[in-house]
Structure 1
Amino acid sequence: MTPSFDLQHIISCVSGYDPNALRVDAALAVIQASMQPVQANERLAVRAALGRVLAQDIISPIDVPAHDNSAMDGYALRGADLAAQGDTVLSIAGRGLAGHAFSGEAPAGSAVRIMTGAVMPAGCDTVVPQEFCRVEGDQVIFPPGLVRPGDNRRLRGEDLARGKAALPAGKLLRPADLGLMASLGMAEVSVRRKLRVAFFSSGDELRSVGQPLDPGCVYDSNRYTLWGMLERLGCEVIDLGVVADNPQAVEAALRTATECADVVITSGGVSVGEADYLRSTLANMGEVVFWRIAMRPGRPLAFGQLRAGAHSAWLFGLPGNPVAVMVTFYAFVRPALLHCMGASPQPQPMLRAVSAQTLRKKPGRTEYQRGLLTALPDGRWQVSAIGNQGSGVLSSMSQAHGLIVLHHEQSTAQAGDLVDVLLFDGLV
């Protein structure tokens, strides 16, 4: 996917680099500077493009709307015919419906019965809502002060003008974007190809769902959370299962992953345990660094590039604890994958909320605590930390609305202080 790169050169540009206590923002800067977006594009039907990254700017081929039209049901008239004092009384010249425009030009002193979306009759520039009007015979009458010239009219090209940019390249396409493209008459769109991501878990103690749970063993939950997070991003997901704690198995899995994917994610095996063969194997396959991130949970992290023959892939070696896997994914992997997908950079969605309790913390690391949100009577949000914040307590991630982010320089947050909350529902 990507030519070899000089990771050490990129690292040398990071101020105060310390692999044993690397700040979250410094690690993210190294990752973003190292990885390049995929270049291949494909054309898809608009309905199939949801969640994909737009490959080219979309320029509007038409005016939207194509004509001046009415913003509501009522009567179209000339603004000059509004009475300066007293009721306005106009003769009814006909009617215009959406898809069936009034024919000809409305004479001075007349009004045209019109429906929402109908083309404005020639000569008319104002619409008075029907609820303000009364009809007597062939006349429409309404009191003064209700409308001004030009009211309740949508102008041609008001939404999009012909030749103007409608959507920029790098846009992650959402439902409104599909509707916008349809409004331009587009049937297909050019998007970046899907990012291929392979992942596996490492550990002799891990068992897959459906297998007997031997003494001292646990079911592998990390592959399911990783699969879910990758699916929500719209990646092409390749699950390589559970890999045993031996060098041959780990190397074989890494080579398979490198040959078929753009990015490889592992969970477990990046600590200093004597059974963790991932570190030594990676040293033979590419340029990989191991960091102790100044964060909690999720301290150990590996990042770099793997090579297997003519193939290469980016690597993220995540911790083994389930909560640490999710936190490091949201902090590092998700923004990196979006970058690789070609998406324009966007800040992670944060909500400012009132802390319901004291959140103890010392400056010098970023902490992520699982939080529950409640609405206060004054319209603000309040967040409470879920009781057990252990990095193996996955149930608390299931209960939480998001992560309370206590930033690197931040100290203890007191009850009533405003804190940042990284919302799970905003993470694509």
Structure 2
Amino acid sequence: MTPPRTVEEHAETIARLVEPLLAGGTTERLPLAQAAGRVTAAAVRSDVDLPLFRNSQMDGYAVRSSDIRNVPVALEVSGDIPAGHTVPVILTPGTALRIMTGAPVPSGADTIVPVEDTDLVLGRDDDLRGAVVTIGRSRRAGEYVRERGSDLRRGDVLVEAGVRLAARHLAALAAAGVEAVEVRQLLRVGILTTGAELVSAEKGSAEKGTDGTPAGFGQVFDANGIALAALVQESGAVVSVRTATSDDHDEFERALMDAVGASDLVVTSGGISKGAYEVVREVLQPHGAEVVTVAMQPGGPQATAVVAGVPVLSFPGNPVSTQVSFTVFLRDLLRASAGLAPAGVETAQLAAELRSVVGKRQFLRGRRLPDGTVEQVAGPSSHLVAAMARADVLIDVPAETEALAAGDDVTVWTL
């Protein structure tokens, strides 16, 4: 009898299988409005200086610093420059031009006096004609003037390659007039859930093979389809196909081939144990599938295959087993392909004693407490999906460990 694989051994098998997908190389060009959260495939250089032109940092008055060396001083207001003014203006020596934030600084002016340091007396018609401004504070040349290119020079890198685009990156790109950006193409992941007992609670579901039918006697709602889809998306990939099938051999094989044709990677749940009606195992074994037992709980039954050049990863069908398997074996691989940092695996202290099953590495549902410690949530059984919803970590207990005491350090996987 073949001994069970360790978690590390199976993780290495899956990593080798998925490795060609992580090399990347496939890119697409997206308009900025569609690029949030995507990862740049190459450095983006600016075609312009930023700022685009010399402009005012404040609402106030554009003047020559030499004209306000001795204050207070009264200057004639010779005009107005609002933001968006498109005609160049020349400042007459000995006068001031009222200017708004972001407006072009007129030729001849070398400083801006903020409006707070001034007192404006309007002309006879209550407008700027004949107006005089009294300036009560001197300013040095360059104060409150944003020089062209002071933020970025034409040809400089705006955003490096391998950056996940957030609002701050998109704002810089837009400010430089960039309309579209080359990004890594998202991995397409097909999802197949199996079982004659499955029905979907989703009315009008996009999931093929479901119709929002209420669960009858002996039936269960499909929790794995929606869970896997969410996990794939959270990990920076896109769901290409999501299908639920019965345990019929031909039906599953057709669904598999459809998924393979539309995906870079296919993930299945259910149908790989050693009993009868294990349709995934039956269909995949002729394709050279490895169906193994991993010394972990939940998630012991596992399978891998390559079908028509596409990797297929098969997880057990109990909802917690499916989610734990994805988290332990696939989550960080998908995140790497999307240019995302690995999800959190860290050390925490137990809030209370827990016991474990020797011989199998346990991934127990747990939650963080306000003091930073973690406690177990419910038991280890793989059907306790509601308990999984209350958890925010998996407590990783080594296979040789039978018990841990309150205060012991444990490895936790952030959910």
State whether TM-score is above 0.5.
yes
Question: Once the 2 structures are TM-superposed, how far is the Cα of residue 99 of structure 1 from its aligned partner?
Answer: 1.6
Question: Once the 2 structures are TM-superposed, how far is the Cα of residue 44 of structure 1 from its aligned partner?
Answer: 3.9
- Cα displacement string for residues 179-223 of structure 1 (whole angstroms, at most 9, x for unaligned residues): 333323233444455543221112333333333534343211111
Letter in 1 for 2:224: N
Structure 2 partner of 1:165: 157
1:45–1:301 CA distance, 2 compared to 1 (3 A): same
CA distance in 1, matches of 2:9, 2:355: 16
Structure 1 partner of 2:57: 71
Ranges in structure 2 where 5+ consecutive residues have no aligned partner:
122-131, 202-211
- Cα displacement string for residues 271-326 of structure 1 (whole angstroms, at most 9, x for unaligned residues): 444543434542321464746265x644444344222xxxx212221232223323
Whether contact under 8 Å (1:373, 1:384) holds in the other structure is: yes
Structure 2 partner of 1:284: 286
Structure 2 partner of 1:319: 316
Whether contact under 8 Å (1:103, 1:121) holds in the other structure is: yes
CA distance in 2, matches of 1:88, 1:303: 82
The answer to whether 1:47 aligns with 2:33 is yes
Structure 1 partner of 2:208: none
Whether contact under 8 Å (1:194, 1:236) holds in the other structure is: no
CA distance in 2, matches of 1:389, 1:81: 80
CA distance in 2, matches of 1:368, 1:80: 74
Q: Percent identity among equivalent residues?
A: 29
Structure 1 partner of 2:179: 187
Question: Once the 2 structures are TM-superposed, how far is the Cα of residue 78 of structure 1 from its aligned partner?
Answer: 6.0
- The one of 197, 201, 206 equivalent to 2:198 is 206
Larger radius of gyration: 2
Whether contact under 8 Å (1:205, 1:216) holds in the other structure is: yes
1:35 aligned counterpart, secondary structure: helix
1:156 aligned counterpart, secondary structure: coil
1:153–1:352 CA distance, 2 compared to 1 (3 A): farther
The answer to whether 1:35 aligns with 2:21 is yes
Structure 1 partner of 2:84: 99
Alignment of 1:328-339 (within 5 A): 328-339=325-336
- The one of 344, 347, 352 equivalent to 2:341 is 347
2:215 aligned counterpart, secondary structure: coil
Letter in 2 for 1:218: V
The answer to whether 1:242 aligns with 2:245 is yes
Letter in 1 for 2:367: G
1:284 aligned counterpart, secondary structure: helix
Structure 2 partner of 1:58: 44
- The one of 237, 260, 263 equivalent to 1:261 is 263
Structure 1 partner of 2:351: 357
Question: Once the 2 structures are TM-superposed, how far is the Cα of residue 66 of structure 1 from its aligned partner?
Answer: 0.7
CA distance in 2, matches of 1:19, 1:353: 25
Structure 2 partner of 1:377: none
CA distance in 2, matches of 1:165, 1:291: 50
1:66–1:415 CA distance, 2 compared to 1 (3 A): farther
CA distance in 1, matches of 2:10, 2:57: 50
Whether contact under 8 Å (1:38, 1:195) holds in the other structure is: no
The answer to whether 1:371 aligns with 2:367 is yes
Letter in 1 for 2:245: V
The answer to whether 1:20 aligns with 2:10 is no
The answer to whether 1:394 aligns with 2:378 is no
CA distance in 1, matches of 2:282, 2:133: 89
Question: Once the 2 structures are TM-superposed, how far is the Cα of residue 259 of structure 1 from its aligned partner?
Answer: 2.6
Whether contact under 8 Å (1:95, 1:114) holds in the other structure is: yes
Whether contact under 8 Å (2:281, 2:291) holds in the other structure is: no
1:47 aligned counterpart, secondary structure: helix
CA distance in 2, matches of 1:185, 1:250: 49
Whether contact under 8 Å (1:95, 1:112) holds in the other structure is: yes
TM-score if structure 2 supplies the norm length?
A: 0.71
CA distance in 1, matches of 2:383, 2:186: 32
Structure 1 partner of 2:103: 118
2:178 aligned counterpart, secondary structure: coil
Question: Once the 2 structures are TM-superposed, how far is the Cα of residue 69 of structure 1 from its aligned partner?
Answer: 2.6
Whether contact under 8 Å (2:365, 2:387) holds in the other structure is: no
1:237 aligned counterpart, secondary structure: strand
TM-score if structure 1 supplies the norm length?
A: 0.69
Question: Once the 2 structures are TM-superposed, how far is the Cα of residue 89 of structure 1 from its aligned partner?
Answer: 4.8
Provide the aligned length of Structure 1 versus Structure 2.
385
CA distance in 2, matches of 1:248, 1:44: 39
1:181–1:222 CA distance, 2 compared to 1 (3 A): same
Question: Once the 2 structures are TM-superposed, how far is the Cα of residue 266 of structure 1 from its aligned partner?
Answer: 0.4
Letter in 1 for 2:342: Q
2:229 aligned counterpart, secondary structure: helix
CA distance in 1, matches of 2:162, 2:368: 33
Ranges in structure 1 where 5+ consecutive residues have no aligned partner:
1-17, 375-380
CA distance in 2, matches of 1:23, 1:368: 20
1:392 aligned counterpart, secondary structure: coil
Question: Once the 2 structures are TM-superposed, how far is the Cα of residue 336 of structure 1 from its aligned partner?
Answer: 2.8
